[in-house]
């Protein structure tokens, strides 16, 4: 087995974390026990972690179970402006000490964190099921990705700790070293509340930066559980703060603070653009240009060619559109189909989507759970009404049964490429299907978007596949497979245009965004 080595640390070659097979009785029982354990913790109160101190403010935020909103998952003390400033300033004070910790030591902490999450895998699955509304397989993929980020970024940090040698000029010793930046702000989303939060956080920590984490108000308990992992793994209490709070009260403050060096954000286009704008304006006493690492959503298309395997294309579109209720920035929300196979594709898709069951995410028999909150539910249902006027309702189109935030998987056919549901990000279980006269027009429609995150093409024609490789303007392109499910190390993830800064999370150059290069030439 190939290895990565430093004088004191040897790691096996990176491999993606395998998924639990819940069809096995022992695994199913383990998951049921984890769900029961987590349910018993409902209603617990969580303190803020500010600069190594546990802080109570008395101003509490409730996170609820979207499958059963009357159930309070957790209560969280909310930060105020004073605590937000303290978090940034303490991180700034502690940064030189943390930056001096050898890279291999930080990597060892990160590998321990991966091991702790692995040992608590089904427990984390259960938190994702209850607080984020993820079904068992979706929760399992989220936790496995968090483990992958820890393992992969640890190995990548070892690479940057000993960069490739430079050209050596005669009479000189020439070196390049990578240095951490400073204080980072991590603002993760609710839809991958463990994986994306963990990935952004550990990328900043393992490179020697200190961080202030402001989790989503929908999923703060998962963040609190992850903070437990960091502390158990040996990360110093002052290396990070966990700060629940509103964007208006504390979010803008930590973004604009003069001692903040970079912001790592995943979320909506509008919030990402606002963060970018705020970060671009230098503050009094600020001596750097802030970096913004942003992933801001998508309006992702799958192109189905007349030479496609239609059964495979139908399955890929359905899974991409309705996995985790369509609440993925990578989800397929536009299917663009060659007119020669359009009618057949639409009929097969209707049958496939109609078979998808919707219900509480803790029950493993349902393919889809709830959307994240009532605000999202109302917005998605409003878009469905717009879609009914813009196209032909094929299936779904209504709320699901039960008290949770359930919506039927909805497909609207015969949609114009200028329609709102074709152009605007809905972030829910709504798919627009559009007819194209040929492959060229299908690609033209696919590229007619302000976003450029993921896309897929189903075709058995090598020339058309090559054309898509060159002309389909997205950060992540998939051929004859679904457009969701990027794997760390294999599919570096990040998009073009309004989808963000193409940061390529889980890729070999991701950590460079948290480092600065210093060239040193010594005359000898």
pTM of the model: 0.97
For 72-117, the pLDDT digits (tens) are 999 999 999 999 999 999 999 999 999 999 999 999 999 999 999 9
For 10-68, the pLDDT digits (tens) are 899 999 999 999 999 999 999 999 999 999 999 999 999 998 999 999 999 999 999 99
Once rounded to an integer, what is the mean pLDDT over residues 376-383? 98
Helix axes 342-354, 310-322, angle to 10 degrees: 50
Residue 9: the pLDDT is: 81
* Residue 172 falls in the annotated catalytic set: no
Residues 318 and 400 in one domain: yes
Check which CATH number belongs to the domain holding 280 and give it. Answer: 3.40.605.10
Which has the closest alpha carbon to 320: 302, 306, 337? 302
For 417-440, the pLDDT digits (tens) are 999 999 999 999 999 999 999 999
**Is residue 11 in some structural domain?**
no
Tokens 């463990």 belong to which residue?
194
Residues 90 and 198 in one domain: yes
| Exposure letters 117-127 (e unless 16+ CB within 10 A, then b) | bbebbbbbbbb
- As a three-state string, the secondary structure of 111-140 is HHHHHHHHHCHHHHHHHHHHHHCCCHHHHH
**Is residue 195 in some structural domain?**
yes
Query: What proportion of the chain, given as a percentage, has pLDDT over 70?
Result: 98
Contact 328, 195 (CB under 8 A): no
Q: Which residue has the higher pLDDT, 241 or 10?
A: 241
For 439-493, the pLDDT digits (tens) are 999 999 999 999 999 999 999 999 999 999 999 999 999 999 999 999 999 999 9
The arrangement of strands across the sheet holding 60-65 comes to 44-46, 68-77, 60-65
- As a three-state string, the secondary structure of 326-341 is HCCCCCEEEEEEECCC
Residue 383: the pLDDT is: 98
Check which CATH number belongs to the domain holding 402 and give it. Answer: 3.40.309.10
Residue 108: the pLDDT is: 98
Once rounded to an integer, what is the mean pLDDT over residues 321-341? 98
Residues 358 and 276 in one domain: no
Residues 260 and 348 in one domain: no
Which has the closest alpha carbon to 14: 151, 121, 117, 143? 151
Q: How many Å is the maximal CA-CA distance in the chain?
A: 77
* Residue 150 falls in the annotated catalytic set: no
Residues 262 and 321 in one domain: no
Give dist(CA 465, CA 66) in Å, integer.
41
Contacts (Cβ under 8 Å, ≥6 apart) of 21: 27
Give dist(CA 20, CA 139) in Å, integer.
10
The SS3 of residue 478 is strand
For 250-303, the pLDDT digits (tens) are 999 999 999 999 999 999 999 999 999 999 999 999 999 999 999 999 999 999
Strand 430-436 and strand 451-452: the pairing is unpaired
Which has the closest alpha carbon to 449: 421, 477, 430? 421
Residues 263 and 115 in one domain: yes
**Is residue 141 in some structural domain?**
no
* 7 pLDDT more than 80: no
Residues 410 and 355 in one domain: yes
Give dist(CA 284, CA 258) in Å, integer.
7
Tokens 């058309």 belong to which residue?
464
Instruction: Quote the DSSP letter at residue 489.
Output: T
**Is residue 497 in some structural domain?**
no
**Is residue 138 in some structural domain?**
no
Give dist(CA 122, CA 34) in Å, integer.
6
CA atoms within 13 A on the CB side of 116: 19
Residues 437 and 452 in one domain: yes
- Cα of first residue to Cα of last residue in the chain, in angstroms, is 40
CA atoms within 13 A on the CB side of 31: 24
Residue 10: the pLDDT is: 84
Please list the alpha-helical segments (H only) found in 162-294: 195-206, 220-233, 252-256, 269-280
* 503 pLDDT more than 50: yes
**Number of other residues whose CB lies within 10 A of the CB of residue 3:** 9
Give dist(CA 438, CA 299) in Å, integer.
21
Tell me the residue range of the domain where 395 lies: 300-487
Residues 468 and 516 in one domain: no
**Is residue 207 in some structural domain?**
yes
* 5 pLDDT more than 70: no
Catalytic residue of the set 17, 150, 151, 329:
329
Contact 131, 41 (CB under 8 A): no
Helix axes 462-471, 439-447, angle to 10 degrees: 20
Once rounded to an integer, what is the mean pLDDT over residues 372-381? 98
Residues 311 and 426 in one domain: yes
Query: What proportion of the chain, given as a percentage, has pLDDT over 90?
Result: 97
* CA dihedral sign of residues 289, 294, 296, 298: positive
Residues 234 and 307 in one domain: no
Residue 8: the pLDDT is: 62
**Is residue 209 in some structural domain?**
yes
Contact 172, 522 (CB under 8 A): yes
Q: What's the burial of 278, exposed, middle or buried (CB within 10 Å: 0-12/13-18/19+)?
A: middle
Contact 430, 387 (CB under 8 A): yes
* 1 pLDDT more than 70: no
Main-chain phi, psi angles of 123, to 5 degrees? -65, -45
For 188-232, the pLDDT digits (tens) are 999 999 999 999 999 999 999 999 999 999 999 999 999 999 999
Domain total for the chain? 2
Residue 248: the pLDDT is: 86
Contact 46, 221 (CB under 8 A): yes
Main-chain phi, psi angles of 456, to 5 degrees? -145, 155
**Number of other residues whose CB lies within 10 A of the CB of residue 401:** 10
Give dist(CA 125, CA 116) in Å, integer.
14
Residues 290 and 305 in one domain: no
Contact 406, 367 (CB under 8 A): no
Catalytic residue of the set 295, 390, 425, 483:
295
**Is residue 99 in some structural domain?**
yes
Which has the closest alpha carbon to 84: 59, 51, 45? 51
Q: Look at phi and psi of residue 333 and say left if phi exceeds 0, alpha if psi is from -120 to 50, else beta.
A: alpha
């Amino acid at each position: 087995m190939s290895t990565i080595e430093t004088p004191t640390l040897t790691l096996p070659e990176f491999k993606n974390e395998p998924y639990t097979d819940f069809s096995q009785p022992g695994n199913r029982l383990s998951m049921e026990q984890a769900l029961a354990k987590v349910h018993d913790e409902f209603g617990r109160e969580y303190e803020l972690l500010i600069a190594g101190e546990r802080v109570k403010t008395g101003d509490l935020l409730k996170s609820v179970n979207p499958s059963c909103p009357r159930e309070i998952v957790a209560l969280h003390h909310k930060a105020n402006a004073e605590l937000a400033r303290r978090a940034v300033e303490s991180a700034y004070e502690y940064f030189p000490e943390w930056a001096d910790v050898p890279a291999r030591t930080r990597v060892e902490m990160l590998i321990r964190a991966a091991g702790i999450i692995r040992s608590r895998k089904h427990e984390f699955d259960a938190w994702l099921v209850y607080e984020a509304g993820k079904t068992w397989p979706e929760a399992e993929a989220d936790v496995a990705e968090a483990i992958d980020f820890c393992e992969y970024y640890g190995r990548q940090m070892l690479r940057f700790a000993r960069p490739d040698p430079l050209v050596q000029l005669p009479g000189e010793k020439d070196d390049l070293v990578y240095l951490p930046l400073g204080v980072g702000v991590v603002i993760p989303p609710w839809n991958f509340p463990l994986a994306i939060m963990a990935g952004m956080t550990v990328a900043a920590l393992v490179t020697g930066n200190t961080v202030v984490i402001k989790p989503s108000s929908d999923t703060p308990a998962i963040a609190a559980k992850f903070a437990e992992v960091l502390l158990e793994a040996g990360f110093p209490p002052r290396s990070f703060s966990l700060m629940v709070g509103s964007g208006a009260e504390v979010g803008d403050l930590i973004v604009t603070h003069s001692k903040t060096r970079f912001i790592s954000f995943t979320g909506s286009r509008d919030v990402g653009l606002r963060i970018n704008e705020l970060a671009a304006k230098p503050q009094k006493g600020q001596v750097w240009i802030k970096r913004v690492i942003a992933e801001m959503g998508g309006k992702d298309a799958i192109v189905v060619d007349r030479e496609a395997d239609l059964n495979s294309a139908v399955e890929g579109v359905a899974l991409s559109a309705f996995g985790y209720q369509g609440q993925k920035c990578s989800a397929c929300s536009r299917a663009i189909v060659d007119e020669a196979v359009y009618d057949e594709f639409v009929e097969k898709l209707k049958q496939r989507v109609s078979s998808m069951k919707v219900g509480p995410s803790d029950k493993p028999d349902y393919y889809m759970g709830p959307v994240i909150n009532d605000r999202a539910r109302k917005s998605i249902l409003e878009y469905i009404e717009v879609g009914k006027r813009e196209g032909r309702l094929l299936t779904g189109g209504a709320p699901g049964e039960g008290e949770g935030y359930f919506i039927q998987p909805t497909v609207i056919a015969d949609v114009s490429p200028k329609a709102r549901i074709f152009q605007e990000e809905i972030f829910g279980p709504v798919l627009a299907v559009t007819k194209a006269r040929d492959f060229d027009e299908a690609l033209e429609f696919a590229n007619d978007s302000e976003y450029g995150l993921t896309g897929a093409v189903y075709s058995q024609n090598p020339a058309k596949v090559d054309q898509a490789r060159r002309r389909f303007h997205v950060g992540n392109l998939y051929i004859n497979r679904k457009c969701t499910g990027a794997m760390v190390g294999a599919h570096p993830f990040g998009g073009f245009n309004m989808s963000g800064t193409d940061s390529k999370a889980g890729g070999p150059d991701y950590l460079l965004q948290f480092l600065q290069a210093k060239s040193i030439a010594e005359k000898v």
